[in-house]
Amino acid sequence: MRLGARNAVFSLLPLLVLGCGVGADLRFPVSLGKPRSVTETTLEKQKYCRHEARQMQSQSYVRCKTKGFAVGESWLVIDYSEEQLVVRVRRMEHYPTHEEATKRWNALAAERSKELGAESEEARDMMANMGEGPIGAVVWKVWRKGKSGNLLGLYLVKPEEADDPNVVEVLRRDENR
C-alpha cells in the first residue's frame, strides 16, 4: 500500500513549506507515551504547527512558516491513544531531488547509529510485519530505541507522486513488549 494512500492527509499538505530548515534538525521531534499537551508544546518550540483542526486519533503537523529558504519540507503525523498519549510518530520529508534525499537519509542514518548503535534485524522484521515499510522504499534501517525497546525505522523512498515523501522516519512501540 502506498504511503500516500495509507494516509489521505498527504494530499492535503502544502507542496512547499518555506523556511523549514529540514536538514538542520537530526533529532527525532517527540517521544512515545507523552501526553498530547506536552507533545504539542514541544512541537511548537521546534516550529511545527497543527495542519488542520484538532483530530482525536491522528494529527498532522507541518513546519511553521518562517523567514528564509530551505531545500526540503517536513511534516509529522502523530497517532494518539484514547488517553491522548503518543503511540506512533511518522516524520516525512520531501526533497526536490533523489540526491538531496539520499544526503539527508545518510545524515539521519549516521546520527541514529551514533545514538542507538547497530541496527536490529529482529526490529526490522517486526516493523515489516506491522506494515510500516512504505511502498517504494529503496533502503531502510530499523533500530531499538531506549529501555522500552521502541522501534525506530528510517526509510529512503522513491516517491510515486511528485509531492510524496522521500525520507520517512517511523517511531512506534514494539507490540510484543
User: pLDDT band at residue 103, thresholds of 50, 70 and 90?
Assistant: very high
Residue 135: pLDDT over 60: yes
DSSP 68: S
Question: According to the model, what pLDDT value does residue 159 have?
Answer: 86
Cα dihedral 123, 89, 154, 176 in deg (nearest 10): 0
Q: How many CB atoms lie within 10 A of CB 67?
A: 6
Query: What is the tens place of the pLDDT at every residue in 35-61?
Result: 999 999 999 998 898 887 778 899 999
Contact indicator for 22, 71 with CB cutoff of 8 Å: yes
Rounded mean pLDDT of 131-149?
86
As separate numbers, helices (DSSP H) first and strands (DSSP E) second, the chain gives 4, 7
Domain positions in the chain: 3-172
Position 68 scores a pLDDT of 56
| Residue 88 pLDDT | 94
Q: For residue 20, what pLDDT band results from cuts at 50, 70 and 90?
A: very low
Confidence of residue 67 (pLDDT cuts 50, 70, 90): low
* pLDDT higher than 70, residue 6: no
Average pLDDT over residues 69-91: 89
**pLDDT at position 4:** 41
For the record, the C-alpha cell of 164 comes out as: 510524496
Confidence of residue 70 (pLDDT cuts 50, 70, 90): low
Q: Does the pLDDT at position 12 exceed 60? A: no
Least confident span in 18-27, 92-101, 159-168: 18-27
pTM over 0.85? The answer is no
**What is the identity of the amino acid at 52?**
E
